[in-house]
Amino acid sequence: MATAADYTRRIERALARIETGAASGDWPGLAELAEAAAMSEFHFHRIYRLLTGETPQQTLSRARLGGSLPALQGSAGIMAATERSAYATSQSYARALKALTGATPSELRADRALFDEVVEGLMRPVDDAHELTIEIAELSPLRLVATRAVGDYKDLNLGYYRLFDLLLEQIAPEQVTGLYGVPHDDPRHTPAQDCRFDCAVTTSAEVTLAGELTQIEVGGGPSLMLRIPGDYDKVHAALDHLYRVAIALELELAPVQPVNYYHHDPEEVPVEELVTDIHLMLAE
């Protein structure tokens, strides 16, 4: 069983690795941080953000830029700050600093009050938590037929259109018995165009797997389940509350992706009548 204190210790190990990078200039990648926390990358990003109030990438950006600011005030200015932050060029450093703080290097060098305000801001992450209601459930084993969609989660309908185009070459519409989805990335740290998602269904007839069609075996078992009414676009952000509850209840997460079960075809049901069950799988 993973206690809340255990999750905190795991995240502290990742933070310690970031601190080591700040001291040495050897900045870790996100996979290395997840390894330090002994979590899968998917779970790590979620739990890290819930416990710290920001994504790992935001922490790295703050650490790199915050650690560079004393050098920015020195005689070597932006060149020294760029080297300290490990950005490739002074131009990329200046763009990152402007994007994160709203100020240019020259503005920070010229205005000490603004400099001090930015330094304080870089040490203060912001959380956007919200409350939802969940229950403990048991997910039955599933054998899914799926296609992999890569791109903005807002465009997942295109992935499902492609899946059904391929399926209906082999089976009748009524032989599709369930609509599912398996997310692989958090769009808050992965560029929208790179987000991976398995669009999936269960069927009552055998499907020949070829080309884009693949099979996903979901082992089933205990889960935290959140039932969400309304627009399917709300589903991904709602995962946060499941992670909060897992931490609060001291539950160990299974090293697998969440599974979404969509109760209705959005082409046939009004948005306000849509229902989704999100299953965050737990260790046995």
Mean residue pLDDT across the chain: 83
Structure tokens at 44: 């790590």
Is residue 256 within 8 A of residue 204, CB to CB? The reply is: no
Give how far Cα 4 sits from Cα of 8, 13, 49, 248, 269, Å.
6, 14, 14, 6, 40
**DSSP at 254:** P
Q: What percentage of the chain reaches a pLDDT higher than 90?
A: 34
228: which strand partners? 276
- Higher per-residue confidence, 217 vs 90: 217
Task: Decide if domain 4-121 falls under CATH 1.10.10.60.
Answer: yes
Helix (H, G, I), strand (E, B) or coil at 202: strand
Residue environment code for 53-87, b if the CB has 16+ CB neighbours within 10 A, otherwise e: ebbbbbbbbbbbbbbbbebbeeeeebebbbebbeb
pTM summary value: 0.60
Domain 4-121 and domain 135-281, same fold? Reply is: no
Residue 203 confidence class, pLDDT cut points 50, 70, 90: very high
**pLDDT given at position 242:** 78
Is residue 235 within 8 A of residue 276, CB to CB? The reply is: yes
Q: If 0-12 CB within 10 Å is exposed, 13-18 middle and 19+ buried, where does residue 173 land?
A: exposed
Q: What is the pLDDT of residues 9-50, one digit of tens each?
A: 888 888 888 877 766 767 788 899 999 999 888 888 888 887
Name the residue ranges covered by the structural domains of the chain.
4-121, 135-281
Residue 121 confidence class, pLDDT cut points 50, 70, 90: low
What fold is seen in the domain 135-281? Multidrug-efflux Transporter 1 Regulator Bmrr; Chain A (3.20.80)
**pLDDT given at position 128:** 39
**pLDDT given at position 23:** 66
Helices (H) and strands (E) in the chain, counts: 10, 8
State yes or no: pLDDT of 231 exceeds 80: yes
